[in-house]
Structures are given as structure tokens and as C-alpha cells.
Structure 1
Amino acid sequence: MNANEYRRVMQLKPGDERRYALAERGVLIMADEIDGSASYSVALDFMYRHLFEANVPIWLFLNSPGGDVGQGFAIFDLMKALTAAGCEVNVLGVGYVASMATAIMQAGTKRYSFPNTQFLVHQVRQVLPFFKSEEVNEGRERQQEMDRINDIAMKIIADRVGMDLDEIKKLSEKKDYWLDAQSAKRFGTNGLIDEIVTEFPF
């Protein structure tokens, strides 16, 4: 695929040349809330790499407050599919890596962080509309579904860091569990990150 075809497939607009230049070298940026748009953009980048440049290591620049859990699962699964196919997908955490972004980071082949990056582990949250009427059974069903989704998100983190699921749920119960880079490296047996860097690792 030539440069013009890449621009068309990736829906690059005039002025996106810097993104294109970085993508050519395998550097992808996720620096916003995780939503459908972010998931779609990342999926395009990942699928292109898988089909046309699987031998080029991917470096995901991650600076996100978190966001939609379902879209986060989509990004996580895409990263795992790439690594299962033999593609290296490394992650560099910058600024804030919070909530669902922390789970996404655990799919990285290697997980890097700058010294001042802040990490957040907490349980799944749901925003409810004001004055919404709900029957008792509906409330129970909604809570059961939230518990199910929460277990998936927490297990993603627990499995990579080498921590028991119940332990990580207890740590994040009723509060936001913030960690600096040093604490993130010591979190669990394997850490939320593998290495703290002061220079770009790519």
C-alpha cells in the first residue's frame, strides 16, 4: 500500500502529515477519552499494521483519563490479537493513564512510563440519569451486569500484574486507587508497568 492509499484508508485530512509520519514508524497516539471514535481510529491503525506491516513494532503513546468500558475492551482485544499474531505492541504511558486506559496498557508487549505519569485503578462506574424510575428487579439486574463487567476489567489488570482478583477489587473498593510511576512498577508481582524511562524508548 502506497502513501496515498494509506491516507485514504486512514481517513487522514490535510494537516495530518505529522500523524502519518509517526504512523509510518509505528508510533500511534491515543491522547483522549476512550470512546467509539478513539476505538475506531485505533482499530484502523492496528488492522493496517497487521495486514501490511506486521514486522514493524507498534508504539502506542497512551495519555487517557479512561472512558467507555466496552470500547476499552475492543482496543484491549485488538492489541492482544496483534501480539498473538506475532506483532510487538509496546505502550508508553504519559500524563494520566486512568481507569480503562490502565487496563488497555496491560495488553502491551512491553509497558513503559515516564517518571511523572499517574495511574488510576478503580472499579467500573455507571452514570445514571437523574430521576430515572426503576423497578427493584431492574436495579438488581443492572447491578449484576455491572458486577460482571467489573470482574472482566479487574481480571485484565489482575492477570497481568500477578495479583488475586479479590485483592485488586478490595484495593479499589469505594475509592480511586492512584499510583505514581514508582508505585505502579511495584504493583502486584509484575507491576502495572515494566520500566520507567526518561527518554523515548523507540
Structure 2
Amino acid sequence: MESGIATFTGPLSTPPRPAAAAFLRHSGPIFSQCHNNFRHFFPITTTSTSWAGQNASCGRSKGSLRVKALNHSLTSKWEVSNYAAPSWLPRFEELDTTNMLLRQRIIFLGSQIDDTTADFIISQLLLLDSEDQKKDIKLFINSPGGSVTAGMGIYDAMKLCKADVSTICMGLAASMGAFLLASGSKGKRFCMPNARVMIHQPLGTAGGKATEMSIRIREMAYHKVKLNKILSRVTGKPEQQIELDTDRDNFMNAWEAKEYGLVDAVIDDGKPGLVAPIGDASPPPKTRCGIFGK
């Protein structure tokens, strides 16, 4: 084998058999005519008009027949390193919405908060903070809540960032989702006009032995006190009121969440903006709805 050239050798001392020689003598013109017809209907473009010189060579050397044929390989004839995609095609990284949002310093929390989600959000917060500590990081939240420990990990990462973390509620921010919404940088916590916010005390179950149940109950009580202290600090309300208001599921609309101190402003309906509302938003009109109206 010679650099992509296939070499076939065979002894010439043994003459061809009579039957084979007769077959080749009579079928030669037929094969030649078929080859010409094929080239007529399926023209093959070559780099040289010399077929014998470029693509094949036949010769006799020391009693052997030697045939050489070019063997095109992908590495030699199918170069793709210099290939340029058309300008209208999107780049590979643009097909991932997460990467495109990160370019705008936007993080989206749109699922239940667990350890996997927390690791993902924390890594994005640390990445954006390391790139530029003077530009805001925008955290959009649409989450029903989840693990308290995972949510506290995100909270600590938000406080670790030197860049301001602006929070925006879209859809629903409940439980730990509402806690993270209220934990954004002061003056940069926003809520969309149709979003809902819900706060309550930590939920959990305890089973097994009495000692194991007491350990779980103490842990839940610790998280309850810890969350109430932080909510009291970010909302400006006393801990006693926070404890009373979170005793049951406490749902609020955007304007009630603003009045409570969970957010700083409501992004006005019909006036788009990423983090800053344009003009003062007005609350929806009061309506009477069956037994719920007053």
C-alpha cells in the first residue's frame, strides 16, 4: 500500500485458462461499450484528462502485474475545517435559550426548587458575578417552592454576589420561591401584574422512632424561625406578624405583595421592560364575587 494507492500484484508465469481467455476476448468490446454509455449518461469530472496518468497505471515489472488506483480518503479529499456555514444559519450556542439568556445576565428559575435546580442556579449566579460585578443579575422566578435547604443555598449565593441581584416574579412565586423573590436587592424586586405570591411556614413530615421524629421537628422549627427572621428583615415587619401571616397559605396579588414589602414595584401592564417599570402601575378594580365579595 502506498499513501492511499492500492497495489495488486499477481504472477504472470501461469497463463490464463482457455475458457477465461475466450471470455475476455469476446466480452471486452461489450464492457467497453457499457463503460462509454455509463460515462455518457453519468459524466465524471476529473482533475486531468489523462486517465492512465492520473487515476491508474498498468505495467509489468519482474514477472508481475502491478495495478495502481487512487484511493480517495475523507481526510485528504473531504476537508471540512475551512467550511463556513451560511450567515443566516444560527450558531450552535444560539440554539440553547439558557446560553442566550446568560449573555443578557438573565437567570430563569422555572421549576420546583431541589438540589439539582439549586446547583444550576448557584453556578449561574457565581459565573455572572465573576464576569462583571457592576452589572445587575436578573433572576426571573416562576416556582411553586420546594426544599428549604436548597432554597437557602440559592439565598446564600445571592448574598455572596457583589453584583446586585434583581428578582422578578412571573406566574407564581410560592413558599421558597416567594422567599427568594423577597431576598433580591432592595429597590430591585419586581412583580408582573398577573403574578401571584404565596408565603407560609415550612412543611414537612416526620416518621419513625420518637427520637427521630423529635429531631425532624426541631429541624423544622429551626427553619421556621430562620425564615421568619429573614422575611422580617426584608419586609420591615415584626417577626410576630410574619409568624401569624405565614401560619396558613397566604396568597397575594402583585399589589398586595408590594404593600406587604415582598417586592418594591409592579411592572405596569402593557409597558414591557426587563427589570424597571415604566410609570406607576395601578391595582385592579375591586369587584364583588359571590361569597368572597365584601
- TM-score, length-scaled by structure 1: 0.82
Which runs of structure 2 are paired with 1:144-183 in the superposition (5 Å)? 144-173=218-247, 175-183=248-256
CA distance in structure 1 between the aligned counterparts of 2:99 and 2:196, rounded to whole angstroms: 28
Q: Is the 8 A contact 1:58 1:90 kept in 2?
A: yes
Aligned CA RMSD, in angstroms, stands at 1.7
CA distance in structure 2 between the aligned counterparts of 1:108 and 1:182, rounded to whole angstroms: 17
Gaps of 5+ in 2: 1-91, 276-294
CA distance in structure 2 between the aligned counterparts of 1:94 and 1:162, rounded to whole angstroms: 23
Moved segments of 4+, more than 6 Å: none
SS for the counterpart of 2:183 is: coil
SS for the counterpart of 2:135 is: coil
State the structure with bigger RCO (CA 8 A, min sep 6), 1 or 2.
1
Provide the residue aligned with 1:8 in structure 2.
Answer: none
- Does residue 127 of the first structure (1) align with residue 205 of the second (2)? yes
Q: Is the 8 A contact 1:25 1:56 kept in 2?
A: no
- Does residue 112 of the first structure (1) align with residue 186 of the second (2)? no
| Matched residue type, 2:99 | Y
Which runs of structure 2 are paired with 1:86-97 in the superposition (5 Å)? 87-97=163-173
CA distance in structure 2 between the aligned counterparts of 1:79 and 1:21, rounded to whole angstroms: 21
| Matched residue type, 2:265 | E
SS for the counterpart of 1:163 is: coil
Q: Is the 8 A contact 2:199 2:250 kept in 1?
A: yes
| Matched residue type, 2:189 | R
Q: Is the 8 A contact 2:170 2:191 kept in 1?
A: yes
SS for the counterpart of 1:32 is: coil
Gaps of 5+ in 1: 1-12
Q: What's the % identity of the aligned pairs?
A: 25
Q: How much has 1:156 moved relative to structure 2?
A: 1.7
SS for the counterpart of 2:258 is: helix
| Matched residue type, 2:215 | E
Provide the residue aligned with 1:3 in structure 2.
Answer: none
- TM-score, length-scaled by structure 2: 0.58
CA distance in structure 1 between the aligned counterparts of 2:118 and 2:212, rounded to whole angstroms: 30
Structure whose alpha-carbon radius of gyration is higher: 2
Provide the residue aligned with 2:97 in structure 1.
Answer: 18
CA distance in structure 1 between the aligned counterparts of 2:167 and 2:208, rounded to whole angstroms: 43
| Matched residue type, 2:171 | G
